[in-house]
Amino acid sequence: MSETVSLSLSVRSLRPRSFSVDCSTVVPPIRASFSTWTTDSFPKKSLRFPGKISVIGVNPRVLNAGTDEGSWLELDDSPVSVELQPICSEAQLDQVIAEAQQLDEPVVVLWMANWCRKCIYLKPKLEKLAAEYHPRLPFYCVNVNNVPHKLVARAGVTKMPTIQLWKDGKKQAEVIGGHKAHLVVNEVRQMIENESTM
């Protein structure tokens, strides 16, 4: 089976760190031929780029290609967004916090409600932010309509949406998102960065 696909991937330069790299360069979509076949009971995949490279393997994810200027480029397969992991009970929140405390890592928790329009607009933007910190900083989501009120009161949540950073078994900081989603995301990013410098 063979088909032609158009790939839109971001590109990272693999030049030595002493060179400055313009990360704002937009890479045009790459036309590639994609084939799948089975041998030895394992499916094989092949990506062929006209005049450039071919990649063959069970699951090709990261591709290297030489450019006309002689530098090497790596196609970045990191996620664009990461779905926030749901927390549905007090026991689950305790487990998440205990695991984070054991690893000496923080966690971010979004407290939201289905009826909250700001929460609905904010969640996809936080999923994109979660991709920036993936996998070293997990992001979770609590729908306050689906958990006991005791859990919401324990976290001190009074407004929706509320984004909290938990570390060492305690709430360290929070952002209450009553304004535009992009401003809330910037405040959450600042909250995370402030925690990492402490």
Query: Is the same domain home to 69 and 111?
Result: no
Write down which residue in 30, 55, 76 finishes a domain: 76
Indicate if 88 belongs to the active site.
Answer: no
| pLDDT at residue 42 in the model | 47
**Cα 132 from chain centroid (whole Å):** 5
CATH code at 191?
A: 3.40.30.10
Write down which residue in 43, 76, 109 finishes a domain: 76
Max Cα–Cα distance, the chain, nearest Å = 63
Number of domains within the chain: 2
Query: Is the same domain home to 131 and 158?
Result: yes
| pLDDT at residue 32 in the model | 53
| pLDDT at residue 177 in the model | 87
Q: Helix crossing, 181-197 with 117-133: angle to 10°?
A: 40
Write down which residue in 58, 76, 94 finishes a domain: 76
| pLDDT at residue 55 in the model | 45
Nearest to 57 by CA among 39, 75, 78: 39
Ranges of residues in the chain whose predicted pLDDT is under 50: 1-27, 39-40, 42, 52-65
Q: Determine whether 119 is exposed, middle or buried from the number of CB atoms within 10 Å of its CB (0-12, 13-18, 19+).
A: buried
* Residue 16: domain span: 2-76
Which residue of the set 23, 88, 119, 141 is catalytic? 119
Indicate if 116 belongs to the active site.
Answer: yes
Predicted TM-score (pTM) of the model is 0.62
